Amino acid sequence: MDVNKLLDDLEEYVENRPLPVVGKHRFFRKAFFLDIDDVLDYTHQIRVSLPQQIQKADQITREKERILAEAKEQAERMVTEAAEQAELTIRKAQDESRILVSSHEVTRQAQVEGQRIVEQAKQEGEAIRQGALEYARSVMDKLNQSIGTLSDHVTQLRGVAQTVRDDIKV
């Protein structure tokens, strides 16, 4: 049976109940009598007629409200944490800016000294590189000379070996 129809029937039942009369006096509209069995029968029919989907909708609504409450709580925590982090970052930035402002001259001098050290390191590095290249050329030249000498000795030894072989054949 349709839930709306049952509710309409219950409403009509309640509205159309005769007002009680006691003696010569009629009671006011609010004072009337209902048959409790009839009311319970209507409510039972309504409960039976409620589709399972309405009950599921109630369950989904409760779950949605729970999830929303959790999301709201989590969002509030995140906002609080973000605010705390922002405040901490601001304080840290202010402290660092005070230090930087107070040490501006020291910073400038350190930059000048740092540039001088970098330039000196570049010059020394270039000198070391040039020295290493010169040393490598020198080693290569000596190696080439040694290889040439060794090649000459090998050629001479081959000649001697050939002479000895020729003498042995004779």
**What digits encode the pLDDT tens for the residues 132-166?**
888 888 899 899 898 989 888 888 888 888 888 88
User: What are the extents of the domains in the chain?
Assistant: 3-102, 105-170
DSSP state of 22: E
Q: What is the pLDDT of residue 26?
A: 47
pTM above 0.85, yes or no: no
Q: What is the pLDDT of residue 53?
A: 61
Name the burial class of residue 85, with classes exposed (0-12), middle (13-18) and buried (19+) by CB atoms within 10 angstroms of its CB: exposed
**What digits encode the pLDDT tens for the residues 71-85?**
989 998 888 888 889
Whether residue 42 contacts residue 9, with contact meaning beta carbons closer than 8 Å, is answered with yes
**pLDDT above 60 (res 95):** yes
**pLDDT above 70 (res 108):** yes
Distances (CA, A) of 112 to 99, 107, 117: 19, 9, 9
Q: Mean pLDDT across the stretch 10-21?
A: 69
**What digits encode the pLDDT tens for the residues 28-79?**
555 556 677 777 787 777 777 776 667 777 788 888 999 988 898 999 888 8
